[in-house]
Structure 1
Amino acid sequence: MSLCVSKWSSDVRLEGKTAIVTGANTGIGKETAKDLAGRGARVILACRDMAKGEQAARDITREVKGAKVVARQLDLADTKSICQFAENIYNSGWHTHTHKTLHYLINNAGVAICPYAMTVDGFELQFGVNHLGHFFLTFLLLDLLKHSAPSRVINLSSASHAMGKIQFDDLSGEKDYHPVKAYAQSKMANILFTRELAKRTEGEGVTAYSVDPGLVNTEILRHIRRPLVDIFKTFGFLIKTPAEGAYSTVYCTVTPEDQLINGGLYRDCASVEPCRAGRDDGTALKLWAVSCHLLGIRWR
């Protein structure tokens, strides 16, 4: 049983609120969406595989009485898909009757420790999906988040960020690709993006938090060597269920803003310090500029 699960609970209701959860067809994302739907929020499941997304929506609707969930297609490895998704959100009638709203953007989707591959736009897959895809999605939806303020952006990172370094001279991984290093780099990028975003939206009603869900038994472990996963599972207390893995995300969604640290990292429903490199504002600023350049966008 996770320490977080046993010590924290909340009965906060979210009627009238809208949330987007990326990668919500399975694992932590699905459990997060289910929890928020159970609190009365309207939840958009942003999924690459629409068949799985629609099945997840049916599952949640069956398990949560009165759930308001809908699946929408989003491939974070393709900037055209991200643009189409954002356009659909802005044009969708699935909002309050008076105006479109988005209160919670939960950047949950991710790929981990996979063989070398590239996104549609030519970015190394883990950096491209885990960081650049969510960076671009947040950029496109920021006006709606501001319009709906107070609102929040929650980025899922990992304890492995502590092993990460932003390789500015080899972000594509073409010179020296290692699956674990590339994953750790992308998770470091999540931490640094959150810190810089929090600064830039301060005073505009949008806050940002990063979350380390812990080691969770989800599909994301599929590229890790089988014996290693079996060793983890032998010591079951090390591995959380997807529902337990979602707790810190939910915590950062429903906890009053004055009880949270804007730009902070959360693990087991408590604030924790990122590693030293994850607190480097100079690197965060450089990553922001490089990310904008790679995506061809201007974001002040």
Structure 2
Amino acid sequence: MDLNGRTALITGANGGIGLATARGLVARGAQVVLGCRNLQKAEEAQAAIQNDFPEGKVEVLALDLANIMNIRSAAEVLKRRFPRLDILINNAGVMSLARKETRDGFEMTFGVNHLGTFALTQALLPLIKAAPEGRIVTLSSTLHYRGHMQWDDLHYRSRPYKGWEAYNQSKLANVLMTQALARRLKGTSASAFALHPGVVATDLARDYPAWLMKLLKAFLVTPEKGARCSIYVASEPGLAAHNGAYFESSRVKKPAAAALVEEDQERLWKLSEELTS
């Protein structure tokens, strides 16, 4: 798809998959906004992209998914800048081996990967619906197949914290959210998708020991390869017919059975609204 005249916001776009995705969309003519917590790194990414694509349009937006008030402020900035948002790519994510909390008191992995993403998506829906073919693309993971929603303690306040377990839960929440959102977008010009980018060499596992990362390196794909599915889902014509779909390797794949339970989709949606209201 020729993306000339279209505007995209990519969260966590100062490095890794997000930066590679931004390059791909700029190459296709899109105006891209890099939504990042670290403005210095975002500006460095902006300069690098514009060095490669002198005619490209790249902007920077201060955005911290661990802070609900900041998310709302960032959304208001976008609403003042743009009449519509054609593509939202919820790319940013964290994975911590130790329990941490967001500014709002949520467990960090669930708070950023799901609740921050949910709050941003909700705040930007009017802009996305104003586009001729708005797309919301959320990066989940194949690890969502191993996820379980710990409804009695989503934030690990009363049980031992396990980093991978929390991450798997957050990635399952991404697919549950996408399913519930797709249902709400029926009859509009917008659609929602989730995807697995592959096992990619990024800063996501920055807490891991160096020896372990060296061992895993042989099994990791580059951010450029990891970005291919995001770029495909953001730009491939005709995907509105697959509203709500989960993608791997740029193909529709059936998500985990746990992600298809409508009762859980609605339970998470209602809970997310309450927590981020």
* TM norm structure 2: 0.96
Deviation at 1:293, TM superposition (A): 1.0
Q: Is 1:269 aligned with 2:250?
A: yes
Any stretches of 5+ residues in structure 2 without a counterpart?
A: none
Q: Is 1:255 aligned with 2:236?
A: yes
Q: Is 1:76 aligned with 2:59?
A: no
Are the counterparts in 2 of residues 38 and 65 from structure 1 also a CA contact under 8 Å?
A: no
User: Partners in 1 of 2:155 and 2:238 — Cα distance?
Assistant: 37
Are the counterparts in 1 of residues 233 and 239 from structure 2 also a CA contact under 8 Å?
A: no
1:242 corresponds to which of 203, 223, 228: 223
Indicate the residue corresponding to 2:11 in structure 1: 22
Deviation at 1:149, TM superposition (A): 3.0
**3-state SS of the aligned residue for 2:233?**
helix
Indicate the residue corresponding to 1:5 in structure 2: none
Q: Is 1:65 aligned with 2:34?
A: no
Indicate the residue corresponding to 1:279 in structure 2: 260
Q: What are the residue-to-residue correspondences of 1:1-300 with 2, within 5 Å?
A: 12-92=1-81, 95=82, 100-176=83-159, 177-233=161-217, 236=218, 238-258=219-239, 261-296=242-277
**3-state SS of the aligned residue for 1:167?**
coil
Are the counterparts in 2 of residues 252 and 260 from structure 1 also a CA contact under 8 Å?
A: no
User: Partners in 1 of 2:171 and 2:239 — Cα distance?
Assistant: 26
**3-state SS of the aligned residue for 1:246?**
helix
Distance 1:258 1:30, change over 3 A: closer
User: Partners in 2 of 1:108 and 1:258 — Cα distance?
Assistant: 19
**3-state SS of the aligned residue for 1:72?**
strand
Counting matched residue pairs gives 276
Q: How many percent of aligned residue pairs carry the same amino acid? A: 39
User: Partners in 2 of 1:117 and 1:258 — Cα distance?
Assistant: 37
- Give the RMSD, CA atoms, in angstroms: 1.2
Distance 1:69 1:117, change over 3 A: same
User: Partners in 2 of 1:89 and 1:112 — Cα distance?
Assistant: 27
**3-state SS of the aligned residue for 2:195?**
strand
Deviation at 1:228, TM superposition (A): 3.2
Deviation at 1:260, TM superposition (A): 5.5
Q: What are the Cα deviations for residues 51-97 of structure 1, in whole angstroms up to 9, with x where unaligned?
A: 000110000000123110011100000011101100100112xx4xx
Deviation at 1:197, TM superposition (A): 0.4
Deviation at 1:190, TM superposition (A): 0.3
Any stretches of 5+ residues in structure 1 without a counterpart?
A: 1-11
Deviation at 1:223, TM superposition (A): 2.0
**Greater shift after overlay, 276-285 or 244-253?**
276-285
**3-state SS of the aligned residue for 2:206?**
helix
User: Partners in 2 of 1:258 and 1:126 — Cα distance?
Assistant: 30
Are the counterparts in 1 of residues 35 and 63 from structure 2 also a CA contact under 8 Å?
A: yes
The amino acid across from 1:293 in the alignment is: E
**3-state SS of the aligned residue for 1:121?**
coil
Distance 1:134 1:259, change over 3 A: closer
User: Partners in 1 of 2:105 and 2:171 — Cα distance?
Assistant: 19
Instruction: Give the ranges of 4+ consecutive aligned residues of structure 1 lying more than 4 Å apart after TM superposition.
Output: none
**3-state SS of the aligned residue for 2:274?**
helix
The amino acid across from 1:83 in the alignment is: R
Are the counterparts in 2 of residues 149 and 204 from structure 1 also a CA contact under 8 Å?
A: no
User: Partners in 2 of 1:258 and 1:33 — Cα distance?
Assistant: 20
User: Partners in 2 of 1:154 and 1:189 — Cα distance?
Assistant: 14
User: Partners in 1 of 2:239 and 2:68 — Cα distance?
Assistant: 35
User: Partners in 1 of 2:6 and 2:182 — Cα distance?
Assistant: 21
Deviation at 1:258, TM superposition (A): 4.4
User: Partners in 2 of 1:285 and 1:101 — Cα distance?
Assistant: 27
